[in-house]
Amino acid sequence: MHALPLPQWTYEEYLVYEVSHPARHEYYRGVIYAMSGGTEDHNIISGNIYVSFRTQMRGRSCMAYNSDMQVGFANEEACFYPDVAAVCGEREIQSLKGDRLLNPMVIVEVLSPSTENYDKKAKFETYQLIPSLTDYLLVRQDRVHVIHYWRQEEDWPSTIYRDLTDEIALPAIGCRLSLADIYEGITWESNAQAQP
């Protein structure tokens, strides 16, 4: 992920830029960041999570989105493309120069070496500004390791899951996410998944 050279962009300039370019970019406090492609494991993991959510949501007024859906902010401070986002009930979609979900309840980011610190710090701090957000999951792709943050009033406690038999409850969207499902189809050449 690399910042484009222009030092400060307005939100409106970003939206115009984004719809006129085939590649995807995220926006954070006046800076536009080019999105890089993911690894095969990254794509498998995010796809597994999306499919698990969509399967569990059938027949309910819930929706899961893959990384093609932006998440926007009412204060126009940022626009991100999370790997998976989910919401139940009425969806708030901003359709100005493309669609952005404004009220996600669950956001999942699959960590990459180039974006891990950004996902853990700047993105997480910004996501916390979304009133509807109840759960934030950070999923490693190099081993079995998921950090689940959940909103508890003004705090965001977390639990780390490291076992394929673990299951994460997400009551806001009425789903459960098993680590076996998250990592289905992933094979590591070494015993990296057993590392702490």
Residue extents of the structural domains in the chain: 38-194
Q: What is the pTM of this model?
A: 0.89
C-alpha to C-alpha distances, 184 to 65, 107, 109, 161, 180, nearest whole angstrom: 19, 20, 17, 16, 6
Whose tokens are 């956001």? That residue is: 107
DSSP label of 77: S
Cα–Cα distance for residue pair 11/153, rounded to 1 Å: 29
In one letter, which amino acid is 190?
S
- 35-68 as b/e: b if 16+ CB within 10 A: eeebeebbbbbbbbbbebbbebbeeeebbbbbbe
Phi first, then psi, for residue 101 (nearest 5°) are -85, 125
Domain 38-194: which CATH number of 2.40.50.100, 3.30.70.1150, 3.90.1570.10, 3.10.580.10: 3.90.1570.10
Helix (H) or strand (E) holding 88: strand 84-88
Whose tokens are 């979609």? That residue is: 93
CA 29 to chain centre: 18
Cα–Cα distance for residue pair 178/120, rounded to 1 Å: 22
Q: pLDDT tens track of the chain, all 196 residues? A: 555 555 588 888 888 888 888 888 889 888 888 887 788 999 999 999 999 999 999 999 999 999 999 998 887 888 899 999 999 999 998 876 668 899 999 999 999 888 888 889 989 999 999 999 999 999 999 999 999 999 999 999 999 999 999 999 999 999 999 999 999 999 976 434 444 4
- Give pLDDT, residue 4: 52
